[in-house]
Amino acid sequence: MEFEEDSSFKPDATFTNTRPKWADDSTATNCKRCRVGFSLLNRRHHCRRCGLVFCQKCSSNAVKIPQLNYNFVPVRVCDDCHRIVTL
């Protein structure tokens, strides 16, 4: 049986045990979740688990992620990754 390769697949950082490559700040003009635009008052924040860029509201959680060697200090994660990590 053959399977088609999904080019949109993004590996799960917890599964691969490697830190994700961060999205480039220059291409991130809006929050990946709520789509609000970034400005001097609404800053960009990278999720340490998925590497995507979010606003403060959509990435206000912090957790330890031992699989990615964030063992001692909780790090910023987006709301979606927070739900997955804390299951």
In a domain? residue 12 = no
Q: Quick one: pLDDT at residue 21?
A: 92
In a domain? residue 7 = no
Q: Quick one: pLDDT at residue 35?
A: 96
Q: In which domain, by residue range, is 31 found?
A: 18-85
Task: Round to whole Å and give the CA distance between 55 and 57.
Answer: 5
In a domain? residue 77 = yes
In a domain? residue 6 = no
| Overall number of domains in the chain | 1
Q: Quick one: pLDDT at residue 15?
A: 55
At residue 6, the 3 state secondary structure works out as coil
**CATH number of the CATH domain containing 80:** 3.30.40.10
Q: Quick one: pLDDT at residue 55?
A: 97
Strands 53-54 and 45-46: antiparallel
In a domain? residue 11 = no
In a domain? residue 39 = yes
Q: Quick one: pLDDT at residue 3?
A: 45
In a domain? residue 1 = no
- pLDDT by residue for the chain (87 residues), tens only, comes to 454 544 444 545 545 678 899 999 999 999 999 999 999 999 999 999 999 999 999 999 999 999 899 999 999 999 999 999 888
